[in-house]
Structure 1
Amino acid sequence: MKRRFSLFSKGVLLVAVPVLFEILFVVSLFLLVVQSQQQALQRAHILSNFQEIAAASSDGYLAIFSSISYATLPTKQSFDDYNNARNKYIQHVKSIQNISSHPLTIKSVKAVTDASKIALSLLDEIDLKVQHNDLAIYEGFQYSRRAMQIAKELKAQLTNFRTEYQNALIESDEEAARFQALLQNYVIGGILGSIVIAFGLCFYFSKSIVARLKIVKDNSVRIAAEAPLNKPISGSDEITDLDKSIRGMSKIISETRESERAVLENASDIICTIDSQGRFSSINPASLRIWGYDPDDLRGRRCVDVLAEDSKTSLPSNKEALAAHPGGQFENRIIAKDGTHRDMLWSVQKSEDEQSMFCVVHDITERKEAERFKQQLTAVVSHDLRTPLTSMQGALTLLGMGALGELPEAAAKKIQILDSEIVRLIAITNDLLEMESLTSGKLELFIRETDLADLLERCKDSVETFAEQHGVKIVTASTDLVINTDADRLARVLINLLGNAIKFSPAGETVYVDVNAAETDLEISVTDHGRGIPDGYHEVIFERFKQVEEADAKQKGGSGLGLAICKSIIEQLGGTIGVESTLGKGSRFWFKLPLTCLTEHPKASRGQVH
């Protein structure tokens, strides 16, 4: 099986191969230079040895000639010259015995040593004859002839040495020249080898890394273009793993696109993209069902072409204009293909380069019609229901007061029951109207300075009779705070909370109203000792038509709108409302208003029973 290296191994290979080659090259070059230096030293030794041997031969030649002068004319001067030459010759012969291990030097030293033995033997004979005055004239001439013969031999030997050493030097120079050429060729070969290795590694990495990375890059482009990918990259390195990851990602992206396409094609809302020219660049099939336009009819068409006249300028042209719409949402009207007008809610997101807008368009025509119907119903309740109920209440009051004569006790009791039911219907009607005003944002707040103590006292007085009927006492906090608020709306909240606390408190219990000015807000709370509220209902009871028990509406009265109205009022005043309750021990309803509502910040304390 073909082995694949990891990228780390290839990186090590890329560095290690040239470095290893350079190390081997440098080491080899160093060895060649050392060898060249050794050859140069050997040549120098050969030359030095020749000079030593030549000097020894010359000394022998001079010693022979000095012996001739000494043998033919034995004087003190000739003796001194002879003795000096002889000693010098002996010393030179001794000094060249171990000068080198070169074969030519060994041969030359042996020849000089053998010749010196013959010459010194003759010199010893001459010296002995002269010392004993036993050298006749004819013997002197004989010795001279022998000495001349030895001198010729020494001269011939020296000439032969010179020739041999010259040849040796020539061979050494030729060897050095050959070595120089070898060294030069080696350097050139090393440079060429480095170039070949560099190009080889480049080719290898280009084929095994760069080319494969280009495939990976091309695959990423193909994923964006939704085109088929290239064939899988073979191998077991990181690039292969990357290719596998990209293919896995491509599969996930493809599945996601299919899911998105399915969502777009089956979405109940219109999902579209509008380009920088205000034209539809893409739109899903919901446009056919909602607007009556086929998606192909809308692509490339200007968006304003389908907008109603009063909505032509509703589409934001840039991010600054879009920022004016909270959450990127706005409403307008569309002219459908059949000519009808449809109300639409747009949710728009601008692209980063502001070249496109991604839009989700929700049909709110039915909701708008429901709102219009609700407004009509509110008008009906306000004018056609509340007015007759008020008239009926007035008529019943007159009857109860004896305007038509004294009524029998049974009739008076029935009129009293009927009056209380009409009062309850009027309260429900008022709650419905007030809840509608709150939810539609049409409630107007009248903010003014309000003495909090007076407000609490007014609220207590409003429910005092109701509290006495239930045998419940009310305790309010004493305070000298002055706040900026809508006194009537805040009184509506307090009266509602007090009424609930009284209704659900056993006879003989006390309801407390506390005031606390903290660092960041003003808290007002109403605490009772009634049956309490289960944990699961702490949030639910602030919704419309929600009560803890269904029987409470009949037994305790109420429409289930009171706490919802309280929550809406407090939130419009910029505050929050909530409840803390323990089942069987009572409840504490509180609401907090921002500290900005205060004009003074004295400390409040719990007041006395009234």
Structure 2
Amino acid sequence: MSWSQPPLPEDSYDHMSTLIGSAITLLRGESGVFAVSNEAFDPQSSAEYTLYHLSEEALPALLSYVQEAMQPNVQHPLVVETLPPALAARFGIAQEAAEQQGVECCSLALYDQNGSLGTLYFLRLATLRSCFEDHGAESAGTRTDETLLHFIAQLTAGLRFALRSQALVKEQGRLAAIFQHSTEGILTVDNALRIIDFNPAMERLTGWRENEVLGRFYFKVLRPQDRQGNDLRLEESPILQAFAGQEVVNREMVICARDGQRFTVAVTASCVRNARGETMNGILNVRDLTRERQQEEQRSTFISVISHELQTPIAIIKGYASTLARTDSRLDARALRLRLVAIEEEADRLNKLVGNLLYASRIQAHGLQMDIASLDLEHLIRKMIRRLHAKAPDVEVSLSFPPQLPTVMADQERIEEVIQNLLDNAVKYSPGKPHIDVACFATGEEVIVSVSDHGMGISVREQEQIFNRFHRVGEPLAQPTPGAGLGLYICRAIVEAHGGRIWVESTLRQGSTFLFSLPREEKAQLPMVVF
């Protein structure tokens, strides 16, 4: 006889497949499928199947056949039916074996005191019988029935355990996915308040990495304070209060990031207890309120910021224009020129602000047009540095270029805007005499430009938001500086439209480095390696 032997599925070596394969072998079967009852665990779920030496193509035909056949039940747990040779061939059985010896389709109901678990369908030669169906003795009927029932009970118990294990693994996977992808910070502690889990959102929120805080007392990591800025006492710990049975939901407090910056959060604490009611773990959900409040403040202050930025040049232009328009004005040529230059500068400032607003609107409407051509970045940057020195001679600039910097594919006018904006920011946010470092370097795929300053720096948390529309650095030193918070947003849109990327590397009060990349005109010729 020749049976088809398709490869076992990938999960055939787990506990479930081992049990099914062993059971079919004991029943003298060669192939089969175990169909889990929908009601076994979740009435809403579809049936699950575990195959043993049965191809996926044969499964629909077998299931269709057994659905029309008599189904096993508690009174008749084993149902045996002879298959027509043509149908047996569809299940991968050689026609000669099916005609000479016959093939049976057997259905075995699996159940216990908890109810039905499913049905085991298997195929075997009609000339074979398992030890559970040996009727050699007169009293064997009763003995065999009891043996079959014991076999069903043992198999059902093993499969139910395997299914529960699989369900636990799936649930663990779902919980792990929720933990990893949650937008809220989550940390868990043991009963000694030592950190045992620290999700990625918590890492982004605090600047700490999980491997740096595992095993540490969570109170010392977060250094919480109340809204008035007073350090919380240990007995005021949210998790300790949850351990004591108190409800801690959306409690506002201030926590400290790795770089020392403090920000307001809402925390919810809960605890996990064992069967005896003893505390095992504490869970702290942390939601950053700073961003929500920043968004509200951005909405409420946007008009006032824009109004201020518009009113200042308008007021200066109007003041100088009124002075020049007076009939009794007696100004020499130098004084007249200074006022006209001031009017021109403020008009340029006003034009730039309105242009940025329109630019941002076009970006939102996906209306950014590019004129892409070959561009020599070194030549462009040197030209812009000369322009910067003409306008601000006291700014020190260090340049670093590799020999034969590759050309890039870019829109020259747009890239000028990006570099100009980064240079302006480096000067604007560097108190005292500014010193700027501009460098370029190439990789196999792109050219990277960096603009570094030695100014106030940017906190870890704000580095994620600094390229958003209307966002301005929250450091007090930054508040007097003019601007509507659109420059870096426009830079990001331009660079990404070129297929590049832009990012910042910064340490608070030690300076910042802004970097952006552009695709090379010609990719680097990598050396050929011959094995």
Please, what TM-score do these two structures have when normalized by structure 1? 0.34
Question: Between Structure 1 and Structure 2, which shows a larger proportion of helix residues?
Answer: 1
Give 1 or 2 for the bigger CA radius of gyration. 1
